[in-house]
Structure 1
Amino acid sequence: MEKKLIYFLWVISVFMTACHYQEDKLVIINNSQNAICYETLIKKGTTYFEGSAGGKIGIKSSDSPAVRGSIASTIRKYSSDMILYVVYYRCKDADFIYRNTNFIVNDKRFKVDKYSLKELDSINWVIRYPRFSAMK
């Protein structure tokens, strides 16, 4: 009976996770000397909205945002300019970011990189922060 219960719980957990978030093919690598947080945004008309769940990236580490579908398909379906905006910020500013999503792209306090689908394809969806770091 115990084995059946364990198997049942395993099947349910696999089924439940298949319906929810997964990692996107987008990978952001933090080459800076500080931990960073990021948010991905897509513009529809004059409004910006989250393209995926953002995240925190440790020093010399990487992260792939959690998504329900792919960021590429979300851009194709909803974006008015076909651009992915990646906003980098200090993690202590997370509350401000979440409350002001529509304004942070133009806020000079935050670093914003913009990528077209063609550019993302050309770099295999691997983004390096800072964008133009010195090669060693």
Structure 2
Amino acid sequence: MNDAPRSVRIAVGLWLAIAVFVLFTTAGLWFQRGEIERLSGRPPADVTNFLVALTVVAVIFAALYGLLTRLLVKRKNWARVALSVVSIVHMIWLLLVGVSTANLVVLLLICVAIVFTWQARTAQWLAEVREQ
């Protein structure tokens, strides 16, 4: 990773930041469970089921980001494509769940991470492995 260009280091940092932010945001929802029950008017069991589903999805996305970022650092070119596909699915998921400040932050981070992941210097760095 020390030989990686700045664009790669920024992309890696952004992907990992997204994973951590998603996990912390989801954990924060558990602390606001009572408020969610009050605002939604749903029974506690429904809110719990909703939070469990959100948590499972968040852990899956965070794990995928972590794994694929690690593979990107190992110069696996296909990891770039996989990160992009996972992030697009994640963006669709966020839009389906609903608009919130946290979701908008994640959407913005994903967009910036994709830009750095697909910069020419990143592609060149990944191609150097194939040339050796």
Larger strand share, 1 or 2: 1
Larger helix share, 1 or 2: 2
TM-score, length of structure 1 as denominator length: 0.29
